[in-house]
Homo-oligomer: A and B are copies of this chain.
Amino acid sequence: MGGEFGLIRDLLAPLAQNPSALGLRDDAAVFSAPKGYDLVVSTDALVSGVHFPAQTKASLVANRALACNISDLAAKGASLAGCTLNLGLSSEWDDLYMRELISAFGAGLKTWGLELWGGDTVRTPTGFLSLTVHGLVPHGKMVQRSGAQNGDDVYVTGVIGDGWLGLQQELGEQNHLDDVRKAYSDPQPPLAFGQKLIDIATSSLDISDGLMADLDHLCHASAVRMDIQGADIPYSGAGQAYLNAGGALEMLLGGGDDLQIGFTASPAKEAALRALAQATQTQLTKIGRVTGDVTQGDSQMSRAVLRSQSGTEIALETRGYRHF
């Protein structure tokens, strides 16, 4: 770690007023996890021109770098501790852009209650933010992808599709719909809700690649199959209007970047979940059920099946991917 770049160091140092960061002046950060807690570690890299358009405003890049990583911890039931940031400085980013980027990153850290522990700054032709976030869960309580049980209900937080629709609006498309740009430019993973899942959910993951693709991942890890009721998937007004106007279901379901939580829980937990959703002001929708165990490693059988109201399977050409 280090600070080869004076401006960047001067901008980042005020964001790191926590004991672990040692003023960003040491080779490493040091953190003492509280007794009885496990460390939960996740990392994601966002690359200019790949995960966001090269001309994207700096605050959007900072917001998304934080949210994509925090979303992973939220789905695991973790509270936030600290992060390290490797910042690849594009030659296309001038001082003003860097100031805005770091200012927005700092504001995000404060909002989320996440400490900056350290990082590295490098020059690169293609700008990137590589963030590693550290959270805490009570020992042994992290909600994994692999615990779904036959008969469990399947839930999702928030709405599906607004991440993708929001990006379209940022790009100048779909602007006839209600403005959902913030779902893309400043996503809000349901962190408080997620933290309470440690005593409720049997499995959980963040919805980032696309609802059906991610639920497939959960099915594979848990060696189960599930039915998802297409009519029960929650959309925003903009999402519903997009579908009503003949928009492609594949894009809304599989466009990615929802940063919501998909999880499974025993039907006995429904009342507790409804109360939790109300207490944390989180939209919560039951969208399906785990319908059977499959042989571990059987990727043909361990998947989420999207059903119409008549019960037939709705085939999707694509189940998910990450755009920008």
Contacts and interface: CB of A to CB of B under 8 A. Distances in A.
Contacts of A120: 43-45
Copies of the chain in the assembly: 2
B43 A86 contact: yes
A73 interface: yes
Nearest to A131: B86
Interface stretch (A10-18, A132-140, A229-237, A265-273): A132-140
A86 B322 contact: no
Contacts of A208: 2
B25 A30 contact: no
A43 B78 contact: no
Nearest to A39: B31
Given A30-B137, A30-B142, A123-B50, A41 B117 contact: yes
A122 interface: yes
Contact of A25 (B31, B119, B221): B221
Q: Which 10 A-B pairs have the closest CB atoms?
A: A130-B130, A28-B42, A45-B86, A27-B72, A132-B132, A126-B126, A43-B84, A86-B130, A47-B124, A29-B41
Interface residues of A, number: 65
A28 to B, nearest CB: 4
Interface of A: 1-2, 4, 20, 22, 25-33, 35, 38-47, 49-51, 72-73, 75-76, 78, 82, 84, 86, 88, 117-120, 122-126, 128, 130, 132, 134-135, 137, 139, 142, 144-146, 205-206, 208-209, 217, 220-221, 322
B39 A84 contact: no
